[in-house]
Amino acid sequence: MNRRTFAEVEQQPIAHPRPIELYVFLDPLCQDCWALQPILRRLQVEYERYFTLRIGLLTSLPKMNYKALPLVDDACEESSAFEKAHPAFPSIAIKAAEFQGKRAGFKFLTKLFEYSFLKSRNVKSFAVLVEIAEKLNLDKQEFISDFFSKNVLQSLQVDLHLAKEMDVVKSPTFVFFNENIEDEGLMVDGSYSYEIYEQILEELTGSPIIRDRAPSLEELFSRFEMLATGEIAAIYGVPEKESERELKKLLLKQEVERIFINDKVLWRKR
């Protein structure tokens, strides 16, 4: 593995279209799914030229009490909805955010993980989910309207149908498909080391895969907003001390802020 420095930001040309479809099935209330985030983000930074990422949500809709949800034609008024909570609400909210763009949905998922596992907020609460939407500068009224609509349930049903077709029964689960439509997908459930996912990508492409050069720190934070020191060090292939030194330079420039949550040190773009 060649050592990369923070100055090496030149991008290598894309040799061919993305030959792999990668489906990642997640449960937004699953701690293992949250722990998988650094691996998924690193794959995007280093090898996104090789795959198209699709996020699927695993939510047990048949067990939902529809009368408890503000999703029927004569839905409860918005004021009373803010007092409600339900285990399916996080998935519904992610889909509602996704209606404002795929990137908005992915950012909502990331922020939801932060609220749930770092800030210990109740993300099953409708009020907390609206707060997340506001933090991300989503259109609040559009988010609430989509959350109330039946379109989100239909979108979740599509995810469940895909999961059933692929025999996915737990989260997190990765399913890789290559260019040959006659080949079955390769399913990997649970969490593994980063090198395992690299190996799978290489096997499916049928040739050595080449890492993209890492973006600048500024570009990295524009994309992912909040990152841990170790996560950044892994992306750049440098020791954590060097990573922290570069982050402190941005801190002095007031371009990032350092956050301490539950004994974890995180860095966020200002």
Please give the Cα distance from 104 to 220 (Å, whole number).
17
Distances (CA, A) of 55 to 27, 78, 175: 10, 29, 11
Instruction: Give the model's pLDDT for residue 270.
Output: 85
Please give the Cα distance from 58 to 172 (Å, whole number).
9
For residue 52, which of 19, 25, 101 has the smallest C-alpha distance? 19
Burial 2-36 (b: 16+ CB within 10 A, else e): eeeebeeeeeeeeeeeebbebbbbbbbbbeebbeb
Please give the Cα distance from 25 to 41 (Å, whole number).
15
Instruction: Give the model's pLDDT for residue 182.
Output: 66
Instruction: Give the model's pLDDT for residue 7.
Output: 47
- Please check whether residue 100 is in contact with residue 143, taking contact to mean a CB–CB distance below 8 angstroms: yes
Distances (CA, A) of 23 to 55, 172, 187: 6, 10, 9
Q: Which H or E run includes 187?
A: strand 186-189
Beta bridge partners of 208: none
Instruction: Give the model's pLDDT for residue 185.
Output: 85
For residue 85 the two structure tokens come to 């909570």
Instruction: Give the model's pLDDT for residue 77.
Output: 55
Instruction: Give the model's pLDDT for residue 14.
Output: 44
Per run of 10 residues, the mean pLDDT along the chain (length 270 residues) is 44 59 94 93 95 88 51 52 86 96 94 93 95 96 92 90 93 90 84 94 91 91 90 94 94 92 84
Instruction: Give the model's pLDDT for residue 92.
Output: 93
Instruction: Give the model's pLDDT for residue 71.
Output: 52
